[in-house]
Amino acid sequence: MGAPIPSLEELTRIPDGDRLHIGGKGAAEGWTLMNIQPGEGVDYVGDIRDLSRFPDASFGAVYGSHVLEHVGYQSALGETVRSIYRILRPGGKFFVSVPDMDVLCRLFTNERLTADKRFFVMRMMFGGQTDEHDFHYVGLNADFLGHFLTYGGFRDIYRVPEFGVFDDTSSMRYEGVLISLNMIAIK
């Protein structure tokens, strides 16, 4: 028999040590912030596809909410996940959240939603497109994200309802439904 499945409390516990928040909007105690755009509290301006500035096993945790869908799936997404794996210490956790295409498709085809509400769902699928970085290049569900995480080297992968770490889109509800797929992958 395999190891017992960790409790939600154990899974969402943030490891000690250095922590990297990719794509966040503001500084948070104990987290290094990297974003593709400069802003208040941003420690590193950079693209998630290039984590070469960080040495191997630099972080106990990496957090990325609604960033992987901005990476093309042909090769860059797999390479990006491998880079995240590389910069995590053994036992480190990758907290990853993406728009859940299964949920969004159900919302989009819900005939009870008005056209305006379905248009908003479509924007969650393809990005708000408010600037050159706000486009989605891949739609992910649990199977697809699990595949990319496994390809990246992760073996212990768990789906969780919410992280409870930051007040961000990982906990966003639309029409009463959580729209994010939240997973924790452990190195």
Q: 185: Cβ–Cβ under 8 A, 6 or more apart, which residues?
A: 93, 94, 96, 149, 152, 154, 156, 157, 158
Instruction: State which H helix or E strand residue 107 sits in.
Output: helix 101-108
From CA 39, how far away is CA 37, in angstroms rounded? Answer: 6
Of 79, 71, 25, 69, nearest to 47 by C-alpha is 71
User: Chain-centre distance of CA 85, in angstroms?
Assistant: 13
Whole-number Å distance between alpha carbons of 64 and 2: 28
Parallel/antiparallel/unpaired status of strands 88-99 and 180-186: antiparallel
* Structural domains of the chain ordered from first start: 16-99+135-172+181-186 (3.40.50.150)
How far apart, in whole angstroms, are the C-alpha atoms of residue 32 and residue 41? 9
DSSP-assigned letter for residue 126: H
pTM: 0.94
CA atoms 66, 72, 76, 81: torsion sign: positive
Those residues whose C-beta lies under 8 Å from the C-beta of residue 16, and which sit 6 or more positions away, are 60
11: phi then psi, degrees, rounded to nearest 5 = -60, -45
- CA pair distance 179, 102, nearest whole angstrom: 9
pLDDT band at residue 3 using 50, 70 and 90 as cut-offs: low
Instruction: Give 30: exposed, middle or buried? Use CB within 10 Å, 0-12, 13-18, 19+.
Output: exposed
The predicted structure's pLDDT at residue 5: 78
- pLDDT one-digit tens code per residue, 97-134: 999 999 999 999 999 999 999 999 999 999 999 999 99
Using one digit for the tens of pLDDT, what is the confidence trace for 53-95? 999 999 999 999 999 999 999 999 999 999 999 999 999 999 9
